[in-house]
């Protein structure tokens, strides 16, 4: 494996204050009104449910990229992560396969919760209990049979402690297994506030003897609700006997989740100073971070792993395969696979799906189809779990017959994730009616659905540029009290941007994110920035760029590239842009350096058409 860090060319990137809109406009008004004419007010006596006189500001914070990584100290701390309590996004790891890697946009990486990062999500040693890990009936039985889970889910947001006290007085007992099962379900829903309150209640009453992972669970949730700084303060209060590697690796995983390079490196080095043995988990966290933000450092991490004799895991190889595939280096990606096989590590379905995905989007159709055939096996009926993975991959290849064939295997006894994949697949094939039928059949069978299934159909409408259908589905979500999360906002932004209503898309993103207390996805802002840059709209491009930096999306060179494009298209000079990037500790790649030269009024420029080509 270690030769991989030297194989091939090094991996490289290709190249204002928030306004507190406290309006009481309904979703109907937001979706239909002109972007500049949505009624807003702050009336103290307003009783509408959507009105928040003093909304709690999301804990969005800036993060800053570091210089060259070494076994050094002294990096600064930057707290920040929104609680996500309002974001019921039961998005599974398969979302990584929904969209192709965009050429020249590989810096727009995935968060740990978006990229099948089971190794990253399980920082404090939970054995995840998932429908994919256990038979569906057993999983559903345990979920529906958990009185504690039902109690916590139904409890009003600010009354959980009193509800738990009543639950206990009713004679219910709690063991650690049940506690962690409930915590897993809450984390899947991103109801971090409730999860934290539950953990604090258990620890305050000392319902059982606390272990290190119990403290680590609280560190994790504190970081997600109140930010990294508060999590560090809590760590100092943990008894020394329980302040071990699991606690610090939990903090590390949260630093990585916020893309905070400096803090991640600081915590990693602190673990070394404290004498904790280096682990695959910790190195994987660095690889995950650098895969998103600084691929040049991946080789350095591999060198450190070799020096410390830390063996790579399947997840390590997943990260390396994805990093190579994202830059189109298929030969190097295949060398990673060969090295993994020599190490005796067997790929799983998701690993093969990642390889197939990169084959597909790098034009290796024959290799992709051979791999899909291998993933399917001799009998797809017996290999039912593969169906949800194969459906969208065949759709990306345009294999409509294979999509229909695999869906027939599932159709008589459908499972939720298979339905989600089918909606994606039929939508990608342009068969919107079939995608809608799958969704409606789901509603008949399950009555109520998680937001992620509505979001899947909303993405279909966005991809097919069906604005009216998308607006109707969004209104339907609102009427059915389905939570609007980051994926919903992202799909709505795409709907309006593709319809040419960019200002309306920006207005919706701003108002709905404040109304639902959520931090929009990086990709949502990039859709806006890309559209404004193509128009040469410098004012709005700068506004979106500053918003990205304000809420913590920093260290990504693509946003600087698009901003420069807005100046180029407007035929306007970008004074001091190189110094501006340097102040943000961002260094231009070849494409950005060319754009800086093109927009520098003191440098002789090529024609705009040459630069755009």
CA-wise closest residue to 94 among 587, 487, 612: 487
How deeply is 90 buried, as exposed, middle or buried, from its count of CB atoms within 10 A (0-12, 13-18, 19+)?
middle
146-155: average pLDDT: 88
The helix (run of H) or strand (run of E) holding residue 44 is none
Tally the C-alpha atoms within 13 A of residue 13's C-alpha that lie toward its C-beta: 25
Buried b (16+ CB within 10 A) or exposed e, 569-601: bbeeebeebeeebeeeebebbebbebbbbbbbe
Given this model, what pLDDT does residue 322 score?
94
Summarize pLDDT for 268-284 with one digit per residue, the tens. 999 999 999 999 999 99
Looking at per-residue pLDDT, the higher value among 431 and 135 belongs to 431
Looking at per-residue pLDDT, the higher value among 57 and 380 belongs to 380
Out of 98-112, 156-170, 176-190, 536-550, least confident range: 98-112
* Percent of the chain scoring above 70 in pLDDT: 75
Give the separation between CA 207 and CA 173, rounded to whole angstroms. 9
Where residue 433 falls among pLDDT bands split at 50, 70, 90? Answer: very high
Given this model, what pLDDT does residue 553 score?
84
CA-wise closest residue to 8 among 329, 341, 298: 329
Report whether pLDDT(46) > 70.
Answer: no
CB 428 within 8 A of CB 392: yes
Summarize pLDDT for 434-474 with one digit per residue, the tens. 999 999 999 999 988 989 999 999 999 999 999 999 999 99
Report whether pLDDT(74) > 60.
Answer: no
Q: Where are the domains of the chain?
A: 534-612
Given this model, what pLDDT does residue 173 score?
85
Q: Is residue 580 helix, strand or coil? A: helix
How deeply is 126 buried, as exposed, middle or buried, from its count of CB atoms within 10 A (0-12, 13-18, 19+)?
middle
Summarize pLDDT for 292-339 with one digit per residue, the tens. 888 889 999 999 999 999 999 999 999 999 999 998 999 999 999 999
Taking all residues of the chain, what is their mean pLDDT, rounded to a whole number? 80
347-369: average pLDDT: 95
The helix (run of H) or strand (run of E) holding residue 149 is helix 147-154
Where residue 611 falls among pLDDT bands split at 50, 70, 90? Answer: low
Where residue 83 falls among pLDDT bands split at 50, 70, 90? Answer: very low
Report whether pLDDT(77) > 50.
Answer: no
CB 83 within 8 A of CB 341: no
CB 184 within 8 A of CB 126: yes
462-487: average pLDDT: 93
Give the separation between CA 336 and CA 320, rounded to whole angstroms. 7
């Amino acid at each position: 494996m270690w030769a991989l860090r030297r194989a091939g060319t090094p991996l490289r990137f290709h190249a204002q204050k928030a306004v507190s809109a406290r309006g009481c406009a309904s979703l109907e008004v937001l979706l239909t009104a002109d972007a500049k004419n949505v009624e807003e007010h702050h009336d103290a006596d307003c009783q509408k449910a959507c009105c928040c006189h003093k909304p709690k500001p999301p804990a969005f914070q800036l993060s800053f990229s570091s210089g060259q990584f070494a076994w050094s100290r002294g990096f600064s701390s930057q707290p920040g992560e929104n609680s996500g309590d309002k974001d019921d996004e039961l998005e599974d790891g398969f979302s990584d396969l929904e969209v192709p890697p965009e050429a020249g946009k590989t810096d727009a990486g995935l968060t740990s919760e978006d990229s099948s990062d089971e190794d990253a999500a399980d920082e404090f040693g939970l054995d995840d209990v998932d429908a994919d890990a256990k038979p569906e009936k057993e999983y559903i039985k345990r979920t529906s049979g958990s009185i504690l889970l039902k109690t916590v889910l139904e409890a009003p947001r600010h009354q959980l402690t009193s509800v738990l006290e009543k639950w206990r007085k009713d004679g219910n007992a709690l063991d650690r297994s049940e506690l962690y099962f409930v915590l897993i379900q809450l984390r899947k829903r991103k109801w971090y506030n409730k999860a934290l309150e539950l953990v604090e209640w258990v620890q305050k009453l000392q319902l059982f003897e606390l272990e290190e992972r119990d403290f680590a669970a609280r560190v994790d949730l504190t970081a997600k609700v109140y930010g990294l700084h508060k999590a560090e303060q809590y760590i100092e209060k943990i008894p020394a006997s329980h302040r071990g590697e699991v606690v610090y690796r939990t903090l590390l995983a949260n630093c990585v989740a916020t893309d905070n390079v400096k803090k991640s490196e600081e915590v990693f080095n602190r673990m070394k100073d404290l004498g904790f043995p280096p682990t695959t988990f910790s190195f994987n966290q660095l690889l995950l971070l650098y895969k998103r933000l600084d691929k040049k450092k991946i080789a350095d991490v591999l060198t450190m792993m070799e020096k410390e004799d830390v063996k790579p895991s399947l997840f390590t190889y997943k990260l390396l395969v994805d990093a190579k595939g994202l830059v189109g280096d298929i030969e190097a990606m295949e060398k990673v696979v060969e090295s993994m096989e020599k190490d005796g590590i067997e790929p799983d379905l998701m690993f093969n799906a990642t390889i197939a995905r990169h084959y597909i989007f790098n034009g290796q159709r024959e290799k992709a189809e051979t791999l899909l055939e291998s993933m399917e096996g001799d009998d797809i009926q017996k290999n039912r779990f593969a169906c949800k993975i194969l459906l969208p991959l065949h759709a990306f290849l345009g294999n409509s017959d294979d999509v229909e064939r695999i869906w027939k295997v599932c159709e008589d006894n459908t499972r939720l994730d298979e339905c989600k994949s089918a909606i994606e697949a039929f939508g990608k094939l342009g068969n919107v009616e079939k995608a809608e039928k799958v969704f409606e059949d789901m509603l008949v069978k399950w009555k109520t659905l998680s937001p992620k299934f509505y979001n899947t159909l909303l993405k279909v409408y966005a991809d097919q540029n069906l604005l009216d259908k998308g607006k109707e589905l969004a209104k339907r979500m609102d009427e059915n009290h389905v939570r609007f999360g980051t994926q919903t906002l992202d799909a709505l932004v795409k709907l309006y941007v593709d319809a040419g209503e960019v200002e309306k898309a920006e207005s919706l993103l701003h108002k709905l994110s404040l109304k639902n207390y959520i931090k929009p996805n990086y990709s949502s802002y990039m859709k806006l920035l890309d559209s404004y840059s193509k128009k040469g709209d410098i004012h709005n491009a700068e506004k979106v760029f500053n918003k990205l930096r304000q809420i913590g999306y920093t260290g990504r060179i693509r946003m600087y590239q698009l901003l420069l494009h807005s100046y180029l298209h407007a035929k306007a000079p970008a004074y001091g842009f190189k110094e501006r990037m340097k102040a943000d500790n961002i260094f231009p790649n070849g494409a950005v350096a060319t754009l800086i030269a093109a927009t520098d009024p003191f440098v002789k420029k090529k024609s705009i058409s040459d630069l755009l080509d």
